[in-house]
Structure 1
Amino acid sequence: MGHFKLLDVFAGCGGMTRGFLDDGEFVSVGAVEVDRSAAATYAANFDPTGGHTFAGDIADYTNVPRADLVIGGPPCQGFSALGKRDPEDVRNQLWREFVRVVRESDARMFVFENVDRFAKTPEFELLRTAASNGGELADFRTQVFRLNAADFGTPQKRIRTIIIGSRIGPVVEPPVTHAKNPIGDVLRWVSLRDAFLAGPVVLEPGVRDEWFPESTADFQNFQVPGPFKLRDLHVTRRYDLTSEIRYAHIAPGKSRLQLPVELQYPCWRKNPAGASDVLGRLRWDQPAVTIRTEFFKPEKGRFLHPQWENGGEQVNRALTHAEAAVVQGFDERHVWHGTKAEIARQIGNAVPPPLARAVAGVVADRLQAG
């Protein structure tokens, strides 16, 4: 059991907490998550009684516990290149609540996680200003790291902005453990083949259709679907014949640009060069691209299963929820609550636990040094 008190806001399904607790130096004392199903997932994994999981708007979170560290990643859609990037998007203002919780918890450090683009937003500069002379967090100094989850053993190329604030001294940059072209003790990036066929969770390409098992549980006086084990999530959608024919044309590393004209949607014919990742197939020998919340829809990105030829049966479907969770770095310890769409959002929005654990290591070193 760790001894540094950890408070996770915008906690989601608990990817960040999973990584920090795996470091061994932290104990969870609180979590805030507005999505009830995600909060139920968090509680099932880290707070079985639900006693310190607040399922509601962070603006209503007033009973803030004392903590050594506050972690969190406000919803990124307002900053994402996939969104409208509206400066008035209310989600872009949630960092202010993060600052309030840091102040009220009397934390010695904080870790703020967001999409790569966040470092180029006005909100980023305002956060830095809050942690400078005259700001609300004037006794903190911030360091900004641009980290790729693949560099820390996640089978996914996912670049994130990590801002570490400290009032007890600086941290070193988390040392990479994996690389595309490794040198010395650094290992090679974890490929999908490593993750799906040789890792701690072996997921066979063959899956059943359509639904999770029938199961519900009570969470803070509401019924939520689940809990589901990782293998309960290894299900696929049913595709029509035309879709399956389209998928069968797409080789690893290729996309809808490989389709013959007669199989293209009219909008693709009008815009032949755009959205080159749409209907893309992953590669066995590489990490996945960034997993998003609609990974189960091949038309949304490069989410087709990597098996195409190479002596195996062709697999013409998108990743299952279980496969996407493994790509994010979750293992069979993690249990899940929610509908298929809700759990997909939890998976797509999560911080990869291996990345979080790497950050936890340098934060714990700083807290220990005082």
Structure 2
Amino acid sequence: MSTFAGRGGSSTGYHMAGYRELLAVEWDAHAADTLRLNYPHLDVYHGDIAQLSVAEVLRRTGLAPGELDLFDGSPPCQGFSTMGQRQLDDPRNQLFRQFVRLVDGLAPRTFVMENVRGMVAGPMRQIYGEALAALRAAGPGYRTVSGILVASQLGVPQARGRLIVIGVREDLGLQPTLPRPQTRPVTVRDALYGLSNTPQGMKLQDHWIPVWARIKPGQSFKAIHPKGHLFSHMKISPDRPSPTILKTVGVTCDGRANAGLYHWRWPRLMTIPELKRLGSFPDAYQFARAGDEVDDFIAAWNGIGNSVPPLMTRAIAQHIRGTILRR
């Protein structure tokens, strides 16, 4: 079962690993439509997780407490992200309590909670400590392990670090562990092999093109800004993993790029087929329509940038199956 399922990054990873997903929970309409588009037989609860009772989950899945193998969730992370304001009282910081509430009632054998690495930095560690204590005390009690995993070490061509918490129910008598690095970093060039390399796409606004031309691949515009601004403009390097794909991208109403990850050869944003490769989504993965061409582009970019990369989730899921569920 996947909560805060978004546009299906985690769901896709579990499907890749051979799991059977019984229920996905998501409040955003476009994200719910995208889940249904790619997984038409999946039961998608489109609504507020705070309104989803344990009894309703058991009714929809046909399970009894204790029978679910794995409960997954990525509570919204904007309040913890180092890219944002990092406000301790951001109400989104408390959404992990809904995750804990369902763990408490469902008593799954294992759970996985994902969040940004900023949750363990500075004053945010207070909330991280509260979350761990609440998870360990949920239901019959859980043993946990947590740490920062780097997506590029798990087959994803993206240098994305994420906090992963794995819990195992106490009565199983097993100690959870984190998966070890599995692969050498995959470069952008290798990841995009076979895709057409053309100048077609969301081109930069004219006043950004001279700046794009001056910086080297792998640099952001802040490299030549006197005050270090414009870090959200990045020319990608083909010979390294992609930097973290952020959920936000700047595109004007007439389809000109104003912020994001730019191609190293052409003055344009990375295309959605390219971004799917860098986010480790299958080429055939679809994103629901959101409006016109610009709206569709932004919604798809948002979905990839806000997702746990599928290959990262697959590695975690395979590790849990091999070290816990099969035992």
Q: TM-score range by the shorter chain?
A: 0.7 to 0.9
Evaluate the alpha carbon distance shift between residue 131 and residue 279 of structure 1 in structure 2; reply closer, same or farther with a 3 A threshold. closer
- TM-score, normalised on structure 2? 0.85
Q: Structure 1 residue aligned with 2:176, among 151, 160, 171? A: 171
Q: Tell me whether 1:206 sits opposite 2:163 in the alignment.
A: no
Displacement of 1:127 after TM fit?
1.5
SS in 1 for 2:244: coil
**What CA distance in whole angstroms lies between the structure 1 residues aligned with 2:250 and 2:189?**
19
**Match of residue 127 from structure 1:** 131
* Percentage of identical aligned residues: 32
**What CA distance in whole angstroms lies between the structure 2 residues aligned with 1:323 and 1:206?**
11
Q: Structure 2 residue aligned with 1:336, among 260, 267, 287? A: 287
**Match of residue 226 from structure 1:** none
Displacement of 1:21 after TM fit?
1.7
Segment of structure 1 superposing worse, 240-249 or 320-329: 240-249
**Match of residue 147 from structure 1:** 149
Evaluate the alpha carbon distance shift between residue 348 and residue 44 of structure 1 in structure 2; reply closer, same or farther with a 3 A threshold. same
Evaluate the alpha carbon distance shift between residue 285 and residue 367 of structure 1 in structure 2; reply closer, same or farther with a 3 A threshold. same
**Match of residue 312 from structure 1:** none
Displacement of 1:190 after TM fit?
0.5
SS in 2 for 1:280: strand
**Match of residue 293 from structure 1:** 247
Q: Tell me whether 1:194 sits opposite 2:190 in the alignment.
A: yes
Partner AA of 1:277 in structure 2:
F
Partner AA of 1:95 in structure 2:
F
Q: Unaligned regions of 5+ residues in structure 2, if any?
A: 252-256, 291-295
Partner AA of 1:33 in structure 2:
E
Alignment of 1:47-126 (within 5 A): 48-49=40-41, 52-62=43-53, 63-65=56-58, 66=63, 67-120=68-121, 121=124, 122-126=126-130
Partner AA of 1:13 in structure 2:
R
- TM-score, normalised on structure 1? 0.76
What is the CA deviation profile of residues 281-325 of structure 1, one whole-angstrom value per residue up to 9, with x for unaligned ones? 111110010000124566545x11122xxxxxxx01121222222
Displacement of 1:68 after TM fit?
1.8
Where has structure 1 moved over 6 Å in runs of 4 or more? Answer: none
**What CA distance in whole angstroms lies between the structure 1 residues aligned with 2:299 and 2:33?**
11
Aligned length: 300
Q: Structure 2 residue aligned with 1:284, among 211, 220, 238? A: 238
**What CA distance in whole angstroms lies between the structure 2 residues aligned with 1:346 and 1:125?**
29
Is the CA contact 2:14–2:313 (under 8 Å) kept in the aligned structure 1? yes
Displacement of 1:249 after TM fit?
2.6
Pick the structure with more helix per residue. Answer: 2
Q: Unaligned regions of 5+ residues in structure 1, if any?
A: 1-6, 179-187, 209-235, 260-267, 308-314
What is the CA deviation profile of residues 230-271 of structure 1, one whole-angstrom value per residue up to 9, with x for unaligned ones? xxxxxx324443233332233212332565xxxxxxxx5xxx
